[in-house]
A and B are shown apart, each in its own frame.
Chain A
Amino acid sequence: MSSEIDEYNGGSVLAMLGKNCVAIASDKRFGMKLMTLGTEFPKIFQATDKIYIAMAGLATDIQTLSELIRYKINMYKLREEREIEPTTLAYMVASTLYERRFSPYYVSPLIAGLDKNNKPYICNMDLIGCVTTTNDFVVGGAADDCLLGTCEALYEPDLEPEDLFETISQSLISAVDRNAASGWGAVVHVLTPERVITRTLKTRQD
Protein backbone atom coordinates (compact mmCIF):
# COMPACT_ATOMS: atom_id res chain seq x y z
CA MET A 1 0.00 0.00 0.00
CA SER A 2 2.81 2.46 0.73
CA SER A 3 4.47 3.69 -2.40
CA GLU A 4 8.06 4.46 -3.19
CA ILE A 5 7.50 8.10 -2.35
CA ASP A 6 6.36 7.21 1.17
CA GLU A 7 9.59 5.26 1.56
CA TYR A 8 11.88 7.92 0.14
CA ASN A 9 12.15 9.88 3.38
CA GLY A 10 10.57 7.12 5.46
CA GLY A 11 8.56 7.58 8.61
CA SER A 12 5.31 6.20 10.00
CA VAL A 13 2.51 7.62 12.12
CA LEU A 14 -0.35 6.16 14.10
CA ALA A 15 -3.29 7.36 16.18
CA MET A 16 -5.69 5.46 18.45
CA LEU A 17 -8.91 6.24 20.22
CA GLY A 18 -9.52 5.32 23.85
CA LYS A 19 -12.01 6.08 26.61
CA ASN A 20 -12.28 9.87 26.61
CA CYS A 21 -8.74 10.10 25.30
CA VAL A 22 -6.74 9.81 22.10
CA ALA A 23 -3.12 8.92 21.49
CA ILE A 24 -0.95 9.85 18.53
CA ALA A 25 2.51 8.46 17.83
CA SER A 26 5.28 8.65 15.26
CA ASP A 27 8.79 7.40 14.69
CA LYS A 28 11.67 9.84 14.44
CA ARG A 29 13.64 8.78 11.38
CA PHE A 30 14.45 11.07 8.51
CA GLY A 31 16.30 9.53 5.61
CA MET A 32 16.99 9.61 1.90
CA LYS A 33 16.24 6.18 0.53
CA LEU A 34 18.51 3.80 2.44
CA MET A 35 20.60 6.45 4.15
CA THR A 36 19.44 7.83 7.49
CA LEU A 37 20.13 11.53 7.72
CA GLY A 38 18.40 12.45 10.97
CA THR A 39 17.01 10.80 14.07
CA GLU A 40 15.12 13.74 15.58
CA PHE A 41 12.39 14.20 13.02
CA PRO A 42 9.08 13.55 14.73
CA LYS A 43 6.17 14.01 12.43
CA ILE A 44 3.57 15.24 14.92
CA PHE A 45 2.55 18.88 15.14
CA GLN A 46 0.34 20.59 17.64
CA ALA A 47 -2.61 22.20 15.89
CA THR A 48 -4.39 23.50 19.01
CA ASP A 49 -4.22 22.66 22.71
CA LYS A 50 -6.50 19.69 22.14
CA ILE A 51 -5.76 18.62 18.57
CA TYR A 52 -2.58 17.13 17.17
CA ILE A 53 -1.88 16.46 13.53
CA ALA A 54 0.69 13.94 12.28
CA MET A 55 1.96 13.59 8.73
CA ALA A 56 4.03 10.93 7.03
CA GLY A 57 5.36 11.00 3.48
CA LEU A 58 7.71 13.30 1.62
CA ALA A 59 9.49 15.41 4.25
CA THR A 60 9.44 18.64 2.28
CA ASP A 61 5.66 18.37 1.82
CA ILE A 62 5.22 17.56 5.52
CA GLN A 63 7.01 20.78 6.43
CA THR A 64 5.27 22.92 3.81
CA LEU A 65 1.86 21.57 4.64
CA SER A 66 2.32 21.89 8.39
CA GLU A 67 3.19 25.58 7.95
CA LEU A 68 0.22 26.10 5.63
CA ILE A 69 -2.11 24.45 8.12
CA ARG A 70 -0.66 26.50 10.96
CA TYR A 71 -1.45 29.64 8.98
CA LYS A 72 -4.99 28.48 8.27
CA ILE A 73 -5.64 27.54 11.90
CA ASN A 74 -4.40 30.95 13.08
CA MET A 75 -6.57 32.74 10.52
CA TYR A 76 -9.53 30.63 11.63
CA LYS A 77 -8.93 31.65 15.23
CA LEU A 78 -8.68 35.33 14.33
CA ARG A 79 -11.84 35.29 12.25
CA GLU A 80 -14.01 33.01 14.35
CA GLU A 81 -12.64 34.06 17.77
CA ARG A 82 -12.60 30.44 18.92
CA GLU A 83 -10.48 27.34 18.55
CA ILE A 84 -11.04 25.08 15.58
CA GLU A 85 -12.84 21.76 16.12
CA PRO A 86 -11.26 18.47 14.98
CA THR A 87 -13.86 17.67 12.28
CA THR A 88 -13.58 21.16 10.85
CA LEU A 89 -9.79 20.91 10.82
CA ALA A 90 -10.01 17.54 9.08
CA TYR A 91 -12.10 18.90 6.24
CA MET A 92 -9.97 22.03 6.04
CA VAL A 93 -6.88 19.88 5.52
CA ALA A 94 -8.81 17.67 3.07
CA SER A 95 -9.80 20.69 0.96
CA THR A 96 -6.22 21.93 0.98
CA LEU A 97 -5.08 18.55 -0.31
CA TYR A 98 -7.88 18.21 -2.88
CA GLU A 99 -7.05 21.65 -4.26
CA ARG A 100 -3.90 19.97 -5.53
CA ARG A 101 -5.78 16.97 -6.95
CA PHE A 102 -3.64 16.81 -10.08
CA SER A 103 -0.30 17.75 -8.53
CA PRO A 104 -0.60 16.46 -4.99
CA TYR A 105 1.30 16.90 -1.78
CA TYR A 106 2.76 13.47 -1.03
CA VAL A 107 1.61 13.19 2.56
CA SER A 108 -0.72 10.99 4.61
CA PRO A 109 -2.04 13.20 7.39
CA LEU A 110 -3.67 11.92 10.58
CA ILE A 111 -5.63 14.05 13.00
CA ALA A 112 -6.27 13.17 16.64
CA GLY A 113 -8.01 15.40 19.12
CA LEU A 114 -10.80 16.14 21.55
CA ASP A 115 -13.69 18.37 20.55
CA LYS A 116 -15.22 21.09 22.70
CA ASN A 117 -17.19 18.48 24.65
CA ASN A 118 -14.02 16.40 25.09
CA LYS A 119 -15.34 13.72 22.77
CA PRO A 120 -12.36 11.98 21.14
CA TYR A 121 -11.92 12.13 17.36
CA ILE A 122 -9.42 10.55 14.98
CA CYS A 123 -9.25 10.47 11.22
CA ASN A 124 -6.78 10.02 8.41
CA MET A 125 -6.56 11.09 4.79
CA ASP A 126 -5.00 9.87 1.61
CA LEU A 127 -2.81 12.21 -0.39
CA ILE A 128 -5.73 13.87 -2.18
CA GLY A 129 -7.93 14.42 0.83
CA CYS A 130 -10.28 11.46 1.17
CA VAL A 131 -11.20 11.61 4.88
CA THR A 132 -11.61 8.31 6.72
CA THR A 133 -13.04 8.70 10.23
CA THR A 134 -12.92 5.66 12.49
CA ASN A 135 -13.62 4.69 16.07
CA ASP A 136 -10.49 2.66 16.61
CA PHE A 137 -7.21 3.58 14.97
CA VAL A 138 -5.69 5.20 11.91
CA VAL A 139 -2.25 4.68 10.36
CA GLY A 140 0.00 6.23 7.75
CA GLY A 141 3.49 6.16 6.30
CA ALA A 142 6.02 3.63 5.08
CA ALA A 143 5.07 0.93 7.61
CA ASP A 144 1.33 1.41 7.18
CA ASP A 145 0.59 -2.25 6.32
CA CYS A 146 2.57 -3.48 9.32
CA LEU A 147 0.83 -0.90 11.52
CA LEU A 148 -2.58 -2.00 10.29
CA GLY A 149 -1.72 -5.59 11.16
CA THR A 150 -0.51 -4.86 14.69
CA CYS A 151 -3.30 -2.40 15.48
CA GLU A 152 -6.03 -4.65 14.15
CA ALA A 153 -4.79 -7.46 16.39
CA LEU A 154 -3.77 -5.54 19.53
CA TYR A 155 -6.43 -2.82 19.72
CA GLU A 156 -9.32 -2.99 22.18
CA PRO A 157 -12.04 -0.38 22.55
CA ASP A 158 -12.41 1.81 25.66
CA LEU A 159 -8.85 1.72 26.93
CA GLU A 160 -7.86 4.06 29.73
CA PRO A 161 -5.10 6.56 28.90
CA GLU A 162 -2.35 4.52 30.57
CA ASP A 163 -3.44 1.32 28.78
CA LEU A 164 -3.91 3.15 25.49
CA PHE A 165 -0.34 4.35 25.76
CA GLU A 166 0.93 0.77 26.14
CA THR A 167 -1.13 -0.52 23.21
CA ILE A 168 -0.21 2.28 20.82
CA SER A 169 3.49 2.04 21.75
CA GLN A 170 3.65 -1.73 21.32
CA SER A 171 1.80 -1.49 17.98
CA LEU A 172 4.14 1.20 16.70
CA ILE A 173 7.40 -0.39 17.83
CA SER A 174 6.51 -3.88 16.54
CA ALA A 175 5.46 -2.51 13.18
CA VAL A 176 8.36 -0.14 12.53
CA ASP A 177 10.82 -2.84 13.48
CA ARG A 178 9.71 -4.70 10.39
CA ASN A 179 10.16 -1.67 8.14
CA ALA A 180 13.53 -0.42 7.03
CA ALA A 181 12.40 3.13 6.31
CA SER A 182 10.99 3.83 9.78
CA GLY A 183 12.43 3.65 13.26
CA TRP A 184 15.25 5.38 15.15
CA GLY A 185 13.07 6.24 18.14
CA ALA A 186 9.43 7.06 18.72
CA VAL A 187 7.30 9.79 20.32
CA VAL A 188 3.82 9.26 21.76
CA HIS A 189 1.37 11.96 22.88
CA VAL A 190 -1.67 10.96 24.93
CA LEU A 191 -4.41 13.59 24.99
CA THR A 192 -6.93 13.64 27.81
CA PRO A 193 -9.34 16.44 28.77
CA GLU A 194 -6.98 17.55 31.57
CA ARG A 195 -3.51 17.14 30.14
CA VAL A 196 -1.32 16.03 27.30
CA ILE A 197 1.42 13.54 28.23
CA THR A 198 4.35 13.23 25.85
CA ARG A 199 6.68 10.27 26.14
CA THR A 200 9.75 9.31 24.13
CA LEU A 201 10.11 5.57 23.75
CA LYS A 202 13.21 3.48 24.09
CA THR A 203 13.52 1.58 20.81
CA ARG A 204 16.11 -0.07 18.64
CA GLN A 205 18.29 2.57 17.05
CA ASP A 206 18.33 1.26 13.52
Chain B
Amino acid sequence: MSFYPYTDNGGSALAIAGEDYCLLASDTRQSGEDYKIHAGYVPKAFKLTDSCVYAGVGFSADGVALVKRVRQSIEWYRHAHEKTMSTPALAQMIATVLYSKRFFPYYVGTILGGLDENGRGVVYSFDPVGSFEAELHKAVGSGAELIQPFLDNQVNLKFLPEVERTPLPLDVALQIAKDAFTSAAERDTKTGDYLEIFIIDREGVNVERFDLKRD
Protein backbone atom coordinates (compact mmCIF):
# COMPACT_ATOMS: atom_id res chain seq x y z
CA MET B 1 0.00 0.00 0.00
CA SER B 2 2.00 3.00 -1.20
CA PHE B 3 1.02 6.63 -0.81
CA TYR B 4 -0.26 8.29 -3.95
CA PRO B 5 -0.33 12.05 -3.54
CA TYR B 6 -3.28 12.78 -5.84
CA THR B 7 -6.96 11.93 -5.98
CA ASP B 8 -9.60 12.83 -8.52
CA ASN B 9 -12.46 14.76 -6.96
CA GLY B 10 -14.36 14.99 -10.22
CA GLY B 11 -16.61 17.80 -11.41
CA SER B 12 -16.73 19.93 -14.55
CA ALA B 13 -16.46 23.55 -15.56
CA LEU B 14 -16.93 25.46 -18.77
CA ALA B 15 -16.32 29.00 -19.99
CA ILE B 16 -17.70 30.86 -22.99
CA ALA B 17 -16.33 34.18 -24.24
CA GLY B 18 -18.67 36.64 -25.89
CA GLU B 19 -18.23 40.02 -27.53
CA ASP B 20 -18.60 42.01 -24.33
CA TYR B 21 -19.13 39.35 -21.67
CA CYS B 22 -17.64 36.15 -20.39
CA LEU B 23 -19.45 33.31 -18.74
CA LEU B 24 -17.89 30.67 -16.48
CA ALA B 25 -19.96 27.82 -15.09
CA SER B 26 -18.95 25.01 -12.77
CA ASP B 27 -20.69 22.34 -10.77
CA THR B 28 -20.03 22.04 -7.03
CA ARG B 29 -19.94 18.31 -6.34
CA GLN B 30 -16.85 16.86 -4.70
CA SER B 31 -16.59 13.12 -5.16
CA GLY B 32 -14.10 10.55 -3.98
CA GLU B 33 -12.77 7.22 -5.10
CA ASP B 34 -15.07 4.22 -5.43
CA TYR B 35 -18.33 6.04 -6.09
CA LYS B 36 -18.27 8.13 -2.89
CA ILE B 37 -19.65 11.64 -2.63
CA HIS B 38 -17.71 13.83 -0.25
CA ALA B 39 -19.88 16.92 -0.43
CA GLY B 40 -22.58 18.58 -2.51
CA TYR B 41 -21.44 22.17 -2.27
CA VAL B 42 -17.71 22.73 -2.58
CA PRO B 43 -17.20 25.63 -5.02
CA LYS B 44 -14.59 25.17 -7.70
CA ALA B 45 -14.91 28.61 -9.27
CA PHE B 46 -13.67 31.76 -7.58
CA LYS B 47 -13.78 35.43 -8.44
CA LEU B 48 -10.25 36.80 -8.70
CA THR B 49 -10.82 40.41 -9.78
CA ASP B 50 -13.77 42.45 -11.03
CA SER B 51 -13.07 41.24 -14.51
CA CYS B 52 -11.80 37.73 -14.02
CA VAL B 53 -13.00 34.38 -12.64
CA TYR B 54 -10.96 31.21 -12.16
CA ALA B 55 -12.05 27.59 -12.02
CA GLY B 56 -9.79 24.68 -11.07
CA VAL B 57 -11.22 21.20 -11.56
CA GLY B 58 -9.56 17.93 -10.69
CA PHE B 59 -7.77 17.44 -7.41
CA SER B 60 -9.68 19.70 -5.04
CA ALA B 61 -6.81 20.40 -2.65
CA ASP B 62 -4.55 21.56 -5.46
CA GLY B 63 -7.37 23.69 -6.89
CA VAL B 64 -7.76 25.49 -3.58
CA ALA B 65 -4.00 25.81 -3.02
CA LEU B 66 -3.55 27.28 -6.48
CA VAL B 67 -6.27 29.89 -6.06
CA LYS B 68 -4.79 30.91 -2.70
CA ARG B 69 -1.39 31.48 -4.32
CA VAL B 70 -2.90 33.35 -7.23
CA ARG B 71 -4.91 35.64 -4.92
CA GLN B 72 -1.76 36.45 -2.96
CA SER B 73 0.05 37.36 -6.19
CA ILE B 74 -2.82 39.63 -7.19
CA GLU B 75 -2.51 41.47 -3.85
CA TRP B 76 1.26 41.89 -4.25
CA TYR B 77 0.77 43.19 -7.80
CA ARG B 78 -1.85 45.67 -6.63
CA HIS B 79 0.47 47.10 -4.03
CA ALA B 80 3.46 47.19 -6.38
CA HIS B 81 1.72 48.66 -9.44
CA GLU B 82 -1.28 50.48 -7.91
CA LYS B 83 -3.67 48.77 -10.31
CA THR B 84 -5.56 45.52 -10.65
CA MET B 85 -4.01 42.81 -12.79
CA SER B 86 -5.53 42.55 -16.24
CA THR B 87 -6.87 39.19 -17.40
CA PRO B 88 -4.09 38.43 -19.93
CA ALA B 89 -1.47 39.31 -17.30
CA LEU B 90 -3.22 37.04 -14.83
CA ALA B 91 -3.20 34.22 -17.37
CA GLN B 92 0.54 34.54 -17.88
CA MET B 93 1.09 34.62 -14.14
CA ILE B 94 -0.97 31.49 -13.54
CA ALA B 95 1.01 29.70 -16.26
CA THR B 96 4.24 30.61 -14.46
CA VAL B 97 2.87 29.44 -11.11
CA LEU B 98 1.79 26.12 -12.62
CA TYR B 99 5.14 25.57 -14.32
CA SER B 100 6.99 26.31 -11.08
CA LYS B 101 5.68 22.94 -9.91
CA ARG B 102 6.55 21.17 -13.17
CA PHE B 103 7.87 18.09 -11.33
CA PHE B 104 5.11 17.79 -8.75
CA PRO B 105 2.21 19.44 -10.57
CA TYR B 106 -1.02 20.99 -9.42
CA TYR B 107 -3.39 18.29 -10.57
CA VAL B 108 -6.07 20.64 -11.88
CA GLY B 109 -7.55 21.57 -15.21
CA THR B 110 -7.68 25.35 -14.96
CA ILE B 111 -9.77 27.83 -16.87
CA LEU B 112 -9.82 31.56 -16.56
CA GLY B 113 -12.73 33.59 -17.87
CA GLY B 114 -12.78 37.36 -18.03
CA LEU B 115 -12.67 40.57 -20.02
CA ASP B 116 -9.47 41.78 -21.61
CA GLU B 117 -8.33 45.41 -21.59
CA ASN B 118 -10.68 46.26 -24.49
CA GLY B 119 -13.70 44.83 -22.73
CA ARG B 120 -13.93 41.77 -25.00
CA GLY B 121 -14.63 38.42 -23.41
CA VAL B 122 -11.72 35.98 -23.34
CA VAL B 123 -11.20 32.44 -22.02
CA TYR B 124 -7.79 31.03 -21.16
CA SER B 125 -7.36 27.32 -20.59
CA PHE B 126 -4.35 25.69 -18.95
CA ASP B 127 -3.05 22.19 -18.70
CA PRO B 128 -1.76 21.01 -15.28
CA VAL B 129 1.79 22.21 -15.97
CA GLY B 130 1.06 25.63 -17.40
CA SER B 131 0.67 25.41 -21.17
CA PHE B 132 -2.10 27.88 -22.02
CA GLU B 133 -4.09 29.30 -24.85
CA ALA B 134 -6.77 31.94 -25.37
CA GLU B 135 -9.95 30.43 -26.72
CA LEU B 136 -13.60 31.15 -27.36
CA HIS B 137 -14.86 28.35 -25.16
CA LYS B 138 -13.47 25.49 -23.14
CA ALA B 139 -14.68 22.73 -20.86
CA VAL B 140 -12.54 21.00 -18.24
CA GLY B 141 -13.01 18.21 -15.73
CA SER B 142 -14.63 14.78 -15.75
CA GLY B 143 -17.45 15.99 -17.98
CA ALA B 144 -15.15 17.82 -20.42
CA GLU B 145 -15.39 15.16 -23.11
CA LEU B 146 -19.16 15.33 -22.93
CA ILE B 147 -19.44 19.12 -22.91
CA GLN B 148 -16.70 20.25 -25.30
CA PRO B 149 -18.14 18.84 -28.58
CA PHE B 150 -21.53 20.35 -27.74
CA LEU B 151 -19.89 23.76 -27.28
CA ASP B 152 -18.09 23.34 -30.62
CA ASN B 153 -21.42 22.71 -32.23
CA GLN B 154 -23.45 25.48 -30.60
CA VAL B 155 -20.99 28.25 -29.76
CA ASN B 156 -18.69 27.97 -32.76
CA LEU B 157 -21.56 26.85 -34.97
CA LYS B 158 -18.79 24.86 -36.55
CA PHE B 159 -20.81 22.56 -38.73
CA LEU B 160 -23.52 24.87 -39.94
CA PRO B 161 -23.54 26.87 -43.16
CA GLU B 162 -21.51 30.12 -43.02
CA VAL B 163 -24.48 32.39 -43.40
CA GLU B 164 -25.85 31.48 -39.95
CA ARG B 165 -22.94 32.77 -37.87
CA THR B 166 -23.71 35.73 -35.64
CA PRO B 167 -22.13 36.68 -32.30
CA LEU B 168 -23.69 34.79 -29.42
CA PRO B 169 -25.85 36.95 -27.12
CA LEU B 170 -25.49 36.48 -23.34
CA ASP B 171 -28.92 34.97 -22.74
CA VAL B 172 -28.34 32.32 -25.42
CA ALA B 173 -24.88 31.55 -24.00
CA LEU B 174 -26.48 31.11 -20.56
CA GLN B 175 -29.04 28.67 -21.93
CA ILE B 176 -26.32 26.70 -23.71
CA ALA B 177 -24.23 26.57 -20.54
CA LYS B 178 -27.18 25.33 -18.46
CA ASP B 179 -28.17 22.71 -21.01
CA ALA B 180 -24.55 21.57 -21.29
CA PHE B 181 -24.49 20.98 -17.56
CA THR B 182 -27.87 19.29 -17.26
CA SER B 183 -26.77 16.93 -20.04
CA ALA B 184 -23.38 16.28 -18.44
CA ALA B 185 -25.04 15.64 -15.07
CA GLU B 186 -27.26 13.01 -16.71
CA ARG B 187 -24.34 10.99 -18.03
CA ASP B 188 -21.34 11.79 -15.84
CA THR B 189 -21.71 10.49 -12.30
CA LYS B 190 -19.14 12.92 -10.94
CA THR B 191 -20.99 16.03 -12.09
CA GLY B 192 -24.09 17.24 -10.28
CA ASP B 193 -25.61 18.80 -7.15
CA TYR B 194 -25.42 22.55 -7.86
CA LEU B 195 -24.35 24.74 -10.78
CA GLU B 196 -22.73 28.14 -10.27
CA ILE B 197 -22.59 30.49 -13.23
CA PHE B 198 -20.37 33.56 -13.07
CA ILE B 199 -21.20 36.29 -15.57
CA ILE B 200 -18.44 38.81 -16.14
CA ASP B 201 -19.29 41.97 -18.00
CA ARG B 202 -18.65 45.70 -17.90
CA GLU B 203 -20.53 46.01 -14.62
CA GLY B 204 -18.49 43.40 -12.82
CA VAL B 205 -19.06 39.82 -11.76
CA ASN B 206 -22.48 38.31 -10.97
CA VAL B 207 -23.14 34.79 -9.70
CA GLU B 208 -26.25 32.72 -10.30
CA ARG B 209 -26.82 29.36 -8.69
CA PHE B 210 -29.01 26.55 -10.08
CA ASP B 211 -29.85 23.04 -8.98
CA LEU B 212 -28.50 20.03 -10.82
CA LYS B 213 -29.42 16.40 -10.37
CA ARG B 214 -28.40 15.00 -7.01
CA ASP B 215 -28.24 11.31 -7.89
The yes or no verdict on A and B being binding partners is yes
Residues in chain A within 8 A of chain B (CB atoms): 145-146, 148-150, 152-154, 170, 173-175, 177-178
Binds A, one of B86-94, B106-114, B117-125, B179-187: B179-187
Interface of B is mostly: helix
Distance, CA A174 to CA B159, complexed state (A): 8
Residue of A with least CB distance to B153? A174
> Is A149's CB under 8 angstroms from B147's CB?
yes
Distance, CA A177 to CA B150, complexed state (A): 11
Distance, CA A145 to CA B183, complexed state (A): 12
Distance, CA A119 to CA B183, complexed state (A): 27
Q: What number of residue pairs across chains A and B have CB atoms under 8 A from each other?
A: 50
Distance, CA A154 to CA B182, complexed state (A): 12
> How many B residues touch the partner, as a band?
10 to 19
**Residues of A contacting B85 in the complex (Cβ-Cβ under 8 angstroms):** none
Select one of B145, B158, B159, B180 contacting A153, CB under 8 A: B180
Select one of A146, A153, A175, A177 contacting B179, CB under 8 A: A153
Within 8 A of A (CB), among B115-148: 143, 145-148
Residue of A with least CB distance to B186? A152
A interface footprint on B147-189 (CB within 8 Å = 1, 0 otherwise): 1111011100011000000000000000000011001101100
Beyond contacts A149-B146, A149-B187, A152-B146: 20 other A-B pairs, Cβ-Cβ < 8 A, are A145-B145, A145-B146, A146-B146, A148-B187, A149-B147, A149-B149, A149-B183, A150-B149, A152-B183, A152-B187, A153-B150, A153-B154, A153-B180, A154-B153, A173-B159, A174-B149, A177-B149, A177-B152, A178-B145, A178-B148
Distance, CA A150 to CA B148, complexed state (A): 9
Residues in chain B within 8 A of chain A (CB atoms): 143, 145-150, 152-154, 158-159, 179-180, 183-184, 186-187
Of the candidates A152, A153, A174, the one having the most CB atoms from chain B within 10 angstroms of its own CB is: A153
How far is the CB of A126 from the nearest CB of chain B, in Å? 16
Closest 5 CB pairs of A and B: A149-B146, A152-B183, A145-B145, A174-B153, A153-B183
How far is the CB of A32 from the nearest CB of chain B, in Å? 23
> Is A146's CB under 8 angstroms from B187's CB?
no
**Residues of B contacting A177 in the complex (Cβ-Cβ under 8 angstroms):** 149, 152, 158
How far is the CB of A166 from the nearest CB of chain B, in Å? 10
> Is A146's CB under 8 angstroms from B186's CB?
no
**Residues of B contacting A146 in the complex (Cβ-Cβ under 8 angstroms):** 145-146, 148-149
Distance, CA A189 to CA B198, complexed state (A): 42
How far is the CB of A165 from the nearest CB of chain B, in Å? 13
